[in-house]
A and B are shown apart, each in its own frame.
Chain A
Amino acid sequence: MSREALLKRKRRWILLHLLVLMLIIPVIMGLAYMLAEGIDTERVSTVYLPLAILVAAYAGLGLWKGYRMEIPNYRLVEIVKCTNCGYENVTTPKVGDYINMEKEPCPKCGRPMKVFLIYRERVRSSKKGG
């Protein structure tokens, strides 16, 4: 799945669980109030309140999972190497670059430099979801 699709999915997931959490918190507060006031104590304490807490815990867990969902991010790397002295230069590939393509002369020895490798590398951001 593309990065955009994953980002969309992450946003939707977080939003859904946040909505459930926002709805269930007032319910829990209401039930706690009923318990404190002694209204229908038996049902509230044995059925409604545990059920509401369970839903809140599930939504909270979902929210946490959504926040931790990592969206892979990549950067392109091109290694240009001198065919004579082995001097290396790491850059970003341009459209049309290919492996073994001749590039500008080596700044050290002046001999031609060639594209040695082109690859993509995963960038790990310190903040999850990056």
Chain B
Amino acid sequence: MPQGNFYELLLWLILLTIFAYASREIDIFRTIKEIEAYVEGFRRATQKAIETTLKEFRNVAKETESRRVSRIEERVREMVDSVFLEPEDKDPYGLMDKLKHLMLVEDSALINEIKSLVPRAPKVAVENLKDLIEATRQLNLIYKYVEHYYRLGKKFKSIWLLLQLHSLLPFLVEEVSALESSLEAFSKGLPIGDSVGCLVAARFIQLYGKGEIREVVEDTILSKAEFKGREVLVIKAKGPSGVTGRLDDALAMVVKSRREPKVIITVDAALKLEGERSGSIAEGIGVAIGGLGVEKFNIERLATKLKIPLYAILIKMAGPEALSIMSKEIALSIDKALRRVERVIEERSEVGDTVVLVGVGNTIGVYP
């Protein structure tokens, strides 16, 4: 082999090796930079959420002439940093009861904390502040976790860890956008996309209700209505504050105190797939309730025990839409959802039957 050719080949091999190494380094650098931009975006969203929450606290404190304004900032930051520890699930027996207990404790602890800061605030303001704290807490949690994995990936130059985080970013961005847009709704007390289930139930009460509305469980109302010879018991969270109510407890109470319902219908907002239209309606079998699954579990358990059919009406929307102020498309779908509810009641029950209609979701800005 001529010497010139050998050196050229060697040079090419060295260049190729450098190129392969540089290409990997460039890839890591590009991924890091992209994640960095998102982490910065999440940090800004969290900061904005904390500022909005603090501003709202100060407004409520000013309006209600509360004296402990100086403590607000410190306590709000502590509340945002506090965590919910899920119960131990190595022995799953009784898990849902434990989860429910912890949820109720967390809820009442947060409410008491807010009340101690703004003692004269009305219930609606307290509930809306609680929603703001919860949204801020979630944003803070997402930011902290993303930053943790980003720092870890960078520290160990682990392309696989960074790529996994990178691939999750579109979903996290959706969630952060949703939470970010919820801040405006919660601070103004206006209905959000998730309120649509409650709004359908409220419309049903308006159209067919007999006037009587009772708070059967804390923050949860029951109203009697009559539709085409059927007795319809409408259950929903009590508005207009941002609560979701205790729908499972209310349903258990209804079943205990009255005769068994023939059908249980739940109406709720559901996440749409990318190709689906916002405000489109879908029917389903089962319980349409999100969250940690406690209420869904309890309603399913009750219905299974008593062999009551479960039907669901779902109003489709994107993640950010569910938490931001209700969009026009969703507002216009309420009538369509109501027609579906009426049709399900008519087709799946007989004259003289009792039907339970549950409006699921956060009832912020919707009364009753």
Contact = CB atoms under 8 A, between A and B. Distances in A.
Nearest to B326: A119
Contacts of B233: none
A93 B328 contact: no
Interface in B288-331: 324-328, 330-331
Given A1-B177, A2-B180, A96-B189, A119 B240 contact: no
Contact of B190 (A2, A5, A93): A93
B337 interface: no
Interface stretch (A26-34, A38-46, A51-59, A98-106): A98-106
Interface in A1-42: 1-2, 5
Contact of B188 (A74, A77, A95, A101): A95
A1 B331 CA distance: 23
B240 A101 contact: yes
A76 interface: yes
B41 interface: yes
Given A1-B173, A119-B331, A100 B368 contact: yes
Given A1-B173, A120-B328, A121-B328, A99 B191 contact: yes
Given A1-B41, A93-B190, A118-B365, A99 B202 contact: yes
Contact of B366 (A74, A98, A119): A98
A77 to B, nearest CB: 7
A117 interface: yes
A99 B199 contact: yes
B245 interface: no
B234 interface: no
Contact of B328 (A77, A95, A97, A101): A77
A95 B240 CA distance: 12
| From A5, A97, A118, A121, residue with most partner B Cβ within 10 Å | A118
Contacts of B339: none
A121 B44 CA distance: 26
B239 interface: yes
A5 B366 contact: no
Q: Is the interface of B mostly helix, strand, loop or mixed?
A: helix
B21 interface: no
A120 B240 CA distance: 18
Interface residues of A, number: 20
Contacts of B48: 2
Nearest to A83: B206
A117 B196 CA distance: 11
Contacts of A117: 331, 334
Nearest to B368: A100
A101 B173 contact: no
Interface size range of chain B in the complex:
20 to 34
A120 B195 CA distance: 14
| From A74, A100, A101, A117, residue with most partner B Cβ within 10 Å | A100
Given A2-B180, A117-B331, A99 B324 contact: no
Contacts of B325: 74, 76, 118-120
Contacts of A121: 327-328
A29 B190 CA distance: 58
A119 B328 contact: yes
B365 to A, nearest CB: 5
Nearest to B325: A120
27 contacts: A1-B173, A76-B190, A77-B328, A93-B188, A93-B190, A95-B188, A96-B188, A96-B189, A97-B365, A98-B189, A98-B190, A99-B191, A99-B240, A99-B365, A101-B240, A117-B334, A118-B190, A118-B191, A118-B331, A119-B325, A119-B326, A119-B327, A120-B324, A120-B325, A120-B326, A120-B327, A121-B327
Interface of A: 1-2, 5, 74, 76-77, 93, 95-101, 117-122
Interface of B: 41, 44-45, 48, 124, 173, 177, 180-181, 188-191, 199, 202, 206, 239-240, 324-328, 330-331, 334, 365-368
